[in-house]
Amino acid sequence: MFKKLVPLNREAHAKLKVKPIDTFGFASGFHIASLMVHEFARAASAYPIVFLEDKEKDEFRPVVLLGLEAGENLFLNDEGSWKASYVPAIIRRYPFALARLGEDADQFTVCLDEESDFINEETGEALFAEDGEPTEVVENVKRYLGEMQQMEGFTQQFCHFLSEHNLFNPLNMRVRYGSAMRNVTGCYVINEERLYNLSDKLFLEIRDKRYLAPMFSHLTSLSQIERLARFKEDSGDNTPPPAADV
């Protein structure tokens, strides 16, 4: 997605402007997009929500499936328009992002993609005023990215809780598009049976942590995998390969 991500600098970027996103072609090569717990309810109406394991960090993270093959985004049409009413926040934040100031630092800085098609010196809203101070655009970006960072922290706690209580299960689902079946593997889902067999005390803890709604949103969203298969079939690519990881 990012071509040249650099820290936002009032001197180097004094003349830059940003245009509103009018096409999502920059996300055409992504078949997954990271998601935060706060997005589950809206995202579940359009996308399958699953979890990926980062074995090096020994943690899980939620994502939405945008395609059934690597490098395939079935939610984009030929004009670069998004084919769902809700666009994940990580896509909407482009061309901006937060980066840590050092490996273990708790401080972050706003970065932008200098080579983005939405960044230029001619059209759009200025990032800095004539006196060098950040404009309202930059302040809004800071606020938005800061909120995303807080949501990400809550999401990490949510995933840690599920993992700690052994509620993840590998997904192995078969879908049909064209004339063949396709196995969807390589990701994890909440084990519904284990969830219902939790003790009353633990179930109440889940309720108090406000985890119940996103858990059920995730489980409901899994039927959207069939929607991806329909999108795939409509795209004309009806010859799926053997089973492959998400």
Q: What 3-state DSSP class applies to 224?
A: helix
Q: What is the pLDDT of residue 124?
A: 96
Q: Is residue 173 part of a domain?
A: yes
Q: Is residue 220 part of a domain?
A: yes
Q: Is residue 130 part of a domain?
A: no
Percent share of the chain, pLDDT over 90: 78
Contact call for residues 67 and 28 (beta carbons, < 8 A): no
Q: Which two tokens stand for residue 113?
A: 């993609």
| Distance separating alpha carbons of residues 141 and 98, to the nearest angstrom | 10
Question: What is the count of structural domains for the chain?
Answer: 1
Q: What is the pLDDT of residue 115?
A: 95
- Positions of the chain with pLDDT under 50: 240-244
Q: Is residue 4 part of a domain?
A: no
Write the CA distances from 213 to 42, 90, 154, 171, 187, integer angstroms: 11, 21, 14, 21, 21
**Nearest Cα to Cα of residue 65 among 246, 218, 243, 192:** 246
Q: What is the pLDDT of residue 241?
A: 47
| Distance separating alpha carbons of residues 186 and 192, to the nearest angstrom | 18
Domain containing residue 140: 16-95+118-125+136-233
Q: What is the pLDDT of residue 244?
A: 47
Q: Is residue 156 part of a domain?
A: yes
Q: Is residue 3 part of a domain?
A: no
Q: What is the pLDDT of residue 103?
A: 66
Q: Is residue 37 part of a domain?
A: yes
Q: Is residue 8 part of a domain?
A: no
| Distance separating alpha carbons of residues 197 and 27, to the nearest angstrom | 40
Q: Is the pTM of this model over 0.75?
A: yes
Q: What is the pLDDT of residue 176?
A: 79
